[in-house]
Chains A and B, each alone.
Chain A
Amino acid sequence: MNKKNFTITLLILGIVITLFAGCGKNTDRVTINVYNWGDYIDEDTIRDFEKIYNIRVNYDQFATNEEMYVKIKSGSSKYDVLFPSDYMIERMIEEDLLHKIDLNNIPNYKYIESHFKNLDFDPNNEYSVPYFWGTMGILYNKTMVDEEVDSWKILWDEKYQDEIFMLDSQRDSIGITLKMLGYSLNTIDEDELEKAKEALIEQRPLVLAYVIDEVTDKMVAGEGALAVVWSGDAVAAMRQNPDLDYVIPKEGSNLWFDSMVIPKNSEHKEEAELFINYMCETDVAYRNADYVGYSTPHIEARKKLDPKIRDSEVAYPDMESLDNCEIFHHLGKDLKLYDRIWTDITAR
């Protein structure tokens, strides 16, 4: 290519880029950008918000915390409200990516159950307002398992060879093994992790498959007897197949939260707080909980739910029984320890 051609190429490139960059942004209404998990809201509530407050909502969805994090960290997209999980919020606070939320602007915060305030990842509750929560446990088929299920150890029982589904997710699978062995699921102690690794290698021949989203379908179809699942999926699976039951093992488990936060680069903090407050209105929280099926931390919204869900031990376990459950912490560089172990287990 000679010089002249090169200049033309650059010119065209420049034009294309400015064309794309000019997209969006030319209404007099304020627009806020909301970034949530896929299929994690009743979208009608957003349309109602737009009508009531005359604010346009640009709604985007992500599939993993990491995907969302990359976009925020690189600053390539501006969002005003995000819905990350516990350990990710901890990380974002650590890296100074979040605005403090003024709770005076969120009067509906009073409806949040007190157990769900001041959680480990946000000890003074300055940055986040809980949206949904849940646990992790064992989903089992009562027609295939006739003993009492109360311990993670049952996943190591040779009786159930080729009947067990584990999660293909490092933190979760190693986490429950650590719990079974009596350690913290946030440990970075190499001896403890080594023991967990040995246990998982020993378990491998018994495992039918390491799965993620497919697990509920498989359990509903009776493909396996036991599976590690999140409580929200358990509720959905049990609705479809009454032979299934869910238990949080006595050794303790993982307790998780997805909360609403405002990133530092938000240009509409006030409107973002308005949106978070709106999400905590009883009726809106109820509609979302009813649509999504996960457990809501909103006291009044829970009361309005179908009694079958409202009083279900699966969706709303007794808070005292969760004493030995832990929330995942952000591990930073130490996450590589987990990756190494997981590769050692699944690559052999």
Chain B
Amino acid sequence: MNRKSIIAYPYVIWMVLFIVVPILLVFYYGFTVDTGAGAKFSLENFRRFFEPVYLMVLLRSFALAALSTFICLLLGYPLAMILASKDFERKNIMLLLLIVPMWMNFLLRTYAWLTLLEKKGIINSLLSALNLPTINIIYTTKAVVLGMVYNFLPFMVLPIYTVLSKIDKSVIEAAQDLGANSLTTFKKVIFPLSLPGVISGITMVFMPAVTTFVISRLLGGGHYKLIGNLIEQQFLSVYDWNFGSAISIIMMIVILISMGILSKYEEVREGGGLL
């Protein structure tokens, strides 16, 4: 028996106990219904999900997550480029500032936004002290998107930054030597080379955004039920584990499919993608 496989045992046990077994349980509950006299195999839970009211929730979750991912990309890509450029001196400080908030608990950061955005919150008190009109976005979709962008932006910036900083500078110099202006260089050289980072960034922002239930509950004031809230509700207040598991399975499948489509666009397999 070789050494490597012995070292692997703890991980195998870990994965069986905490990944394989739970997933099997989810599948068990998802494909059964509780008849009172015991569990019975059924596809009823899945049929139920395809009712308009639940599809609406799914659609809303995807729309909000896609919007947040898009905004993260718009904001994150330029930031990653600035960080990766050689002549930017304060790079380390910027990186630190980007990462420091992530050391704090996610829930606390979201609560902080609640205090900031409230009707009589810090931002509005400041605005009204300056005689400026106040903003009322708390408990709207805007607040939910803001919360998602704020919380997940680092997950977009870091993978893109890693890929960009690894690009061989001579490739860019070659493009310039051949007469490409900076726009063409970006379009034909830099952006295609950074795609693996962009794809990982999109994946790492989209997945938590589409399943979040804390942000939508705190900043959306419970008005905008997302798929995460629906699942939570099934487990904690209705005690319908079967339906909750079925929704989770559907989510897993939908995410797998969208990841599959995304990875088709990923032509360059090497690079600093985090996934």
Contacts and interface: CB of A to CB of B under 8 A. Distances in A.
Interface of A: 1, 4-5, 8-9, 12-13, 16, 64, 66-67, 168-170, 204, 207-211, 214, 218, 221-223, 333, 335-336, 338-339, 342-344, 346-348
A168 B217 contact: yes
A117 to B, nearest CB: 29
Contact of B120 (A1, A223, A346): A223
B88 interface: no
Majority-rule SS of B interface residues? helix
Nearest to A5: B5
B99 interface: no
A222 B230 contact: no
A9 B9 contact: yes
B1 interface: yes
Given A223-B120, A346-B223, A339 B237 contact: yes
B266 interface: no
A66 B235 CA distance: 9
A168 B236 CA distance: 12
Interface string B118-153: 111000000000000000000100000000000000
A169 B217 CA distance: 12
Contacts of B118: 218, 221, 223
A339 B233 contact: yes
B13 A347 contact: no
26 contacts: A4-B1, A12-B9, A13-B16, A16-B13, A66-B237, A168-B222, A170-B237, A207-B221, A208-B139, A208-B221, A209-B139, A209-B221, A210-B221, A211-B221, A221-B118, A221-B120, A223-B119, A335-B239, A336-B240, A339-B233, A339-B237, A342-B233, A343-B54, A343-B230, A346-B223, A348-B56
Interface residues of B, number: 31
A37 to B, nearest CB: 15
A342 B56 CA distance: 14
A335 B230 CA distance: 15
B238 interface: yes
Contacts of A344: 53
A119 to B, nearest CB: 23
Nearest to A168: B222
Given A208-B139, A339-B233, A348 B53 contact: yes
Contacts of A348: 53, 56
A111 B12 CA distance: 58
Contacts of B82: none
Contacts of B237: 66, 169-170, 339
B236 A347 contact: no
A210 B221 CA distance: 5
Contacts of B119: 223
Given A343-B230, A344-B53, A9 B13 contact: yes
B120 A9 contact: no
A87 to B, nearest CB: 12
B3 to A, nearest CB: 13
Contact of A210 (B36, B222, B238, B239): B222
Nearest to A8: B9
A121 B214 CA distance: 34
A8 B234 CA distance: 39
A338 B238 CA distance: 9
Given A168-B217, A218-B118, A343-B54, 11 more contacts: A12-B9, A12-B13, A13-B17, A209-B139, A211-B222, A214-B114, A221-B118, A335-B238, A339-B237, A347-B57, A348-B53
B12 A9 contact: yes
A208 B218 CA distance: 12
A347 B221 contact: no
A315 to B, nearest CB: 27
B197 to A, nearest CB: 35
Given A9-B9, A13-B13, A209 B222 contact: yes
Contacts of A67: 236
Contacts of B218: 214
A347 B54 contact: yes
A343 B53 contact: yes
